[in-house]
Amino acid sequence: MHKVLTICYTQTGQLAAIKNSVCTPLEESDQISLETLVLEPEKPFPFPWPFFKFFRIFPETVKMQPIDLKAFTTKHEKYDLIILTYQVWFLSPSLPIASFLQSEQAKALFADTPVVTIIGCRGMWLMAQEKVKTLLKGLNAKLVDNVVLSDDCGAFFSFLATPLWMLTGKRKPLSWVPAAGIAQQEITSAKRFGEAIKHRLETNPEPIQQSMFGNMSAVTINEKLIASERMANHSFGIWSNILQKIGPQDSTRRAIGLCVYVTFLILLILTVVPISALLKKLISPLTKSKIIAQKKYYAEPSGE
């Protein structure tokens, strides 16, 4: 019997729906024992989020400073495959996921174990996955595949729709803004990845060492966002240090600092990001080979 563990933290339920879609074929197999671990912080995060509450955890999220999670147990000590599903917060894995990956329990579970990561996000995920790669490497785990499902309503509208969903708890609080989140069709079609996992486990008794999702469009690399993500991630690192030095998470001093930061962030998005995108397009003929190499790297291990 092949043992598969899925790990999930979700607030809206969307990530759980993605996980369920992928895992349906595994549940139907009489050769696979599927177990789900739902992470729960000791102090639950709110949903919908109060505006400042969300930004107050910005520095700790960027730095991936562990929080306390509720105790849990798993049926087995080792698994043939771990499926790790996560959201992206501030270009980082969500704080519960980052905390878990730095825990003693994770050291035992992940050591010498193949891992599939599944990301549900607005659109920017490259830097978060780089951080997850680093954490998995520290656990001596082997990343064999990555799947990314992202919002399909476009960069401009998702910039409005996703924060509105986060702050109101409603996917479509305004009639003129498209519904936030990943399209149901995309979630349903993610079942194909579960089918690939099922086939691999049922037909090959050897440990999983290589990608199972080649030529399955597991990820799509938006080359326009590569430079923006790297620049934003660098900026986030600087501001997270500044905000932590200004004051503790719930202090008035940090609230004042956050007002400055949010203003800076909005100006950055409205000015520097489009300008950098324009410049990148203008010089793209000169950087074509570099962009191709970057896309290939970030698409690994599953590929586009």
Query: Can you give the pLDDT at residue 15?
Result: 95
Considering only CA atoms, which of 11, 38, 42 is closest in space to residue 23? 38
Question: Cα(188)–Cα(129) distance, rounded to whole angstroms?
Answer: 23
152 occurs within a structural domain? yes
Considering only CA atoms, which of 166, 199, 276 is closest in space to residue 232? 276
90-121 pLDDT tens trace: 999 999 999 999 999 999 999 999 999 999 99
Cis preceding linkage at 48, omega within 30: yes
- 245 and 282 assigned to the same domain: yes
214 occurs within a structural domain? no
Query: Can you give the pLDDT at residue 154?
Result: 62
Ranges of residues in the chain with a pLDDT under 70 are 153-158, 273
Query: Can you give the pLDDT at residue 219?
Result: 97
Q: Last residue of some domain: 146, 171, 203?
A: 203
CATH number at residue 143: 3.40.50.360
- 275 and 128 assigned to the same domain: no
pTM of the model: 0.93
- 192 and 260 assigned to the same domain: no
Query: Can you give the pLDDT at residue 288?
Result: 80
- 193 and 235 assigned to the same domain: no
- 254 and 182 assigned to the same domain: no
Q: Last residue of some domain: 170, 203, 236?
A: 203
Query: Can you give the pLDDT at residue 128?
Result: 98
301 occurs within a structural domain? no
Total number of domains in the chain: 2
300 occurs within a structural domain? no
- 198 and 231 assigned to the same domain: no
287: exposed, middle or buried (Cβ count in 10 Å: 0-12, 13-18, 19+): middle
24-79 pLDDT tens trace: 999 999 999 999 999 999 999 999 999 888 999 999 999 999 999 999 999 999 99
Domain extent, residue 235, equals: 223-290
212 occurs within a structural domain? no
Query: Can you give the pLDDT at residue 28?
Result: 95
139 occurs within a structural domain? yes
Q: Last residue of some domain: 203, 236, 266?
A: 203
- 182 and 254 assigned to the same domain: no
Q: Are 127 and 133 in contact (CB under 8 A)?
A: no
- 18 and 133 assigned to the same domain: yes
297 occurs within a structural domain? no
93 occurs within a structural domain? yes
- 49 and 97 assigned to the same domain: yes
- 120 and 237 assigned to the same domain: no
Question: Cα(119)–Cα(149) distance, rounded to whole angstroms?
Answer: 6
